[in-house]
Structure 1
Amino acid sequence: MTAFIVVVFLLVYLGLFLGGLPFLQLDRTGVVLLGAIALIATEVVPLAQVGEVVHLPTLALLFAFMVISAQLRLGGFYDWLVAWLDRRALAPPALLGAVIALAAVLSAVFSNDIVCLAMAPVLAQACRARGYAQLPHLLALACAANLGSAATLIGNPQNMLIGEVLRLNFGAYLRVATLPLLLGSIATWAIIAWLSRGRWHEVGLSARPPRARRADDVGVALDRWQTLKGLTVAALLCAAFLWVPWPRDLLALAGAGLLLTSRRLHSRHMLGLVDWQLLVLFVGLFIVNHALQQTGLPAQAVALLVGAGFDLQTPAPLFAASALLNNLVSLVPAVMLLLPVANAPLDGPLLALSSTLAGNLLLISSIANLIVVQAAAQQGVRIDWHAHARVGLPVTLVTLGITAIASWARLAIG
């Protein structure tokens, strides 16, 4: 049976690496689901035990914040925010800095994928209307969203998983992450601004600012009441995470339930914006990785690595392995593989920071990057591997370096 589990595991992670399996109409979620079904059907993981294998608090937290983000999207908050920024008529370098700051702050609470999905089309249109180059601003949005999402334990799915499984303190993690990510955001602005020097405007387009647009001229019109509800619930939850010793998943579910109780926004529309594919991916990965852990092979592999001088239970190797694995099998699967060896107090924050920051390296390293690329394509802007790597590579190396130095200093201070 061990051989069968290993084959299923390898096929699942091959599918994650390739984005699917040859000759089959399966995406990453489909591959993981198929692997989980195979393990359940053969009773490697009995159906009765699935509830014990799947980490329900993580799924509950993830679902709840998807609902909160759906509230803000339907309320027109993200579209209004970009339109408001556009009306400031900032020069391109200043606009670049504002985009980075806004994307980072929003992604720390509302998830990087959601922020990019909502902001990218409106940002591209705003840049085009002013004759500004869209490429640097869109790449800044993707990089800043990934950076900002690493700042909290609710900013992205892998951080939610790490925080819930390792029971990390919300405030303590925030204190660890704030300084390196603040410096990383400044460095990101400097890198993109330097690479964009002399190329701030689109060739053939007038740089003259267009007529100021109203919020209801773009995307979804702002609904002040629905936006206020969403922001209030999010703010109360963040405050509770910091100061109330209650389970984050239960608090978040209560907030989501409150928002679903609405006289104007139909639950069908809100639940239609929930990423059910991602939730299924989580369930499948919990099952597949649990089956492999039961074989004892991961523990043996860790022991072999220790013998070879690469101990994943020490900070530097764990930091490096996390950044590398993220770009091989994507964020959540990489984190699930490494969670069992994250035992030291700083391991959780290191795993969260390195895995998320590495998401800026390649075009396919994070969903946020792909969302921005798709939005750019709809505006006639092509972002290929080379264009992304020209920004993503230095941003990733510099931000990982800043985080490594900050983590080393924290360890040295004790």
Structure 2
Amino acid sequence: MDLTLAIFVLVYLAMGVGHLPGFRLDRTGAATVGAMVLIALGQISPAAAWAAVDYRVIGLLFGLMTISAAFVVAGFYDWVAVKVGNLNVGPKGLLAILIAVSGAMAALLNKDVVAVAMAPIFCSICVERRLNPLPFLLGFCFAANFASAATILGSPQNMIVAETLHLSFGGFMAAAAPVAVLGLPVIWIVIVLCYRGRWELAGDAQPSTASVATAPVALNRGETVKTCLVASAVVAAFIFSDLPHMLIALMGASVLLVSRRFASSNLLHHVNGDLLLLLFGLFVVNAALTATGLPEQVLAGLRGIGLNLHDPPSMLIIMAVLSNIVGNNPAVMLVAPFIGGSHAPEALGAAIALGTGFSSSAVIFGSLVGIIVAEECRKRGIALSFAEFARAGLPTSIICLLMAAVWIHHLG
């Protein structure tokens, strides 16, 4: 047990810091190495390790990421980003439109893929218009995190929760979407208040764009229409059929991979294989720790202080804190084995989704979207400090978490 616990702690230290301190081993590498070491040292058998991997989650996530990647290859994300960025509206109006578009796309597609595809374009357009990129990139980031909590499609953690609690698409959306959508105007209000008088680039300030600017991918209308039809069919099947979510997503991905215009390798290049491998590793690491019995002792201690993983309000608090320590997906992976059999699965699923989604904007590393935005700023010499991020993100997260707590209490 001591060896398993030590490996578990090192893996989740890497989840929180972003890498294993002292080594160039990132989150995915740490999860993979941790799983391999546990198997090699006999802390978990190969059969038990394979059994620990939830193929439903992996298959669902791969299928939906492939569908989202098809929009990237077709140039749809770039086309939307350019259209929005070039609208002839004032800064506050542009921010409102950007928040609405970011939220809608994150809820219906994978938020991380949306961020990777669209953040660089938005950043370049803001600089070209002599606008301060920070309020717009923060609005984009917060909206993607918040609105992604509205549907199963929005983020990997939502998919894990939905498969673990056996939630339907409609049931999950009815429980989580109302508050997720209400969070969007809160984002606009807070950012407008924080950036009064700071909408334009100051004086001769000119962030660097030459070394990082890339031409937007040209829109392929045929492939975009095809992808829209497949994505619509997948969502309709989620809502109106009883087929497993994984099979629906994989069928949609299969249709898109067979194309006369684009090579399948080009499409698969945009699927986040690192995330899939990270989940594989965490499934094994978590299963090894569970076998020691230690998690049950921790859960008993939590119940002793009034925190119960089957209680939606408690789970909202737990996930809001835990996701900012180890990250959204690892946090959900930690609690997933212990949330089955809930008497209110929709409320519990909403608490987990809203807790991870709303708390993601409190700190830069609270979500992958925040890290992506910060990296785009770094490349261009735009100063986005922890304090600057938290100045708008922390009050936004707190207000929306309070709204979520009232809503979850109502659902429970």
Normalising to structure 2: TM-score of the pair? 0.94
Q: Does 1:308 align with 2:274?
A: no
Displacement of 1:131: 1.9
Hey, what does 1:330 align to over in structure 2? 327
Hey, what does 2:44 align to over in structure 1? 45
Amino acid at match of 2:63: A
Rounded to whole Å, the distance in 2 between the matches of 1:405 and 1:72 is 36
Q: Does 1:103 align with 2:102?
A: yes
Hey, what does 2:208 align to over in structure 1? none
Aligned-partner SS, 1:295: coil
Aligned-partner SS, 1:154: helix
Hey, what does 1:234 align to over in structure 2? 231
Amino acid at match of 2:61: L
Q: Does 1:72 align with 2:71?
A: yes
Hey, what does 2:61 align to over in structure 1? 62
Q: Does 1:164 align with 2:163?
A: yes
Cα RMSD (Å) = 1.6
Hey, what does 2:252 align to over in structure 1? 255
Hey, what does 2:153 align to over in structure 1? 154
- Deviations along 1:15-62, one digit per CA (max 9) or x if unpaired, are 212222233220111111111001111233222333321000100111
Out of 240, 244, 248, the position equivalent to 1:243 is: 240
Rounded to whole Å, the distance in 1 between the matches of 2:30 and 2:110 is 24
Hey, what does 1:367 align to over in structure 2? 368
Matched ranges for 1:356-395 at <5 A: 356-395=357-396
- Deviations along 1:340-374, one digit per CA (max 9) or x if unpaired, are 33223221221121112211110011110011112
Listed as ranges, the gaps of 5+ residues in structure 2 are: 206-213
Displacement of 1:317: 2.1
- Does the Cα contact within 8 Å between 2:19 and 2:26 map onto a contact in 1? yes
Hey, what does 2:314 align to over in structure 1? 317
Rounded to whole Å, the distance in 1 between the matches of 2:359 and 2:267 is 31
Aligned-partner SS, 2:255: helix
Listed as ranges, the gaps of 5+ residues in structure 1 are: 207-216
Matched ranges for 1:199-238 at <5 A: 199-204=198-203, 218-238=215-235
Displacement of 1:147: 0.8
Aligned-partner SS, 2:360: helix
- Does the Cα contact within 8 Å between 1:327 and 1:358 map onto a contact in 2? yes
Hey, what does 1:82 align to over in structure 2? 81
- Deviations along 1:216-244, one digit per CA (max 9) or x if unpaired, are x9410111111111121111111111111
Q: Does 1:267 align with 2:270?
A: no
Q: Does 1:293 align with 2:290?
A: yes
Amino acid at match of 1:339: A
Displacement of 1:311: 3.0
Matched ranges for 1:162-201 at <5 A: 162-201=161-200
- Does the Cα contact within 8 Å between 1:120 and 1:376 map onto a contact in 2? no
- Deviations along 1:187-209, one digit per CA (max 9) or x if unpaired, are 11111111112221112379xxx
Normalising to structure 1: TM-score of the pair? 0.93
Rounded to whole Å, the distance in 1 between the matches of 2:378 and 2:297 is 46
Hey, what does 1:353 align to over in structure 2? 354
Displacement of 1:269: 1.0
Rounded to whole Å, the distance in 2 between the matches of 1:201 and 1:314 is 46
- Does the Cα contact within 8 Å between 2:313 and 2:351 map onto a contact in 1? no
Hey, what does 2:209 align to over in structure 1? none
Aligned-partner SS, 1:350: helix
- Does the Cα contact within 8 Å between 1:237 and 1:255 map onto a contact in 2? yes
Amino acid at match of 2:229: T
Displacement of 1:339: 2.1
- Does the Cα contact within 8 Å between 2:150 and 2:181 map onto a contact in 1? no
Amino acid at match of 2:371: L
Displacement of 1:150: 0.6
Aligned-partner SS, 2:247: helix
- Does the Cα contact within 8 Å between 2:313 and 2:408 map onto a contact in 1? no
Moved more, 302-311 or 382-391: 302-311
Rounded to whole Å, the distance in 2 between the matches of 1:32 and 1:263 is 37
Amino acid at match of 1:356: G
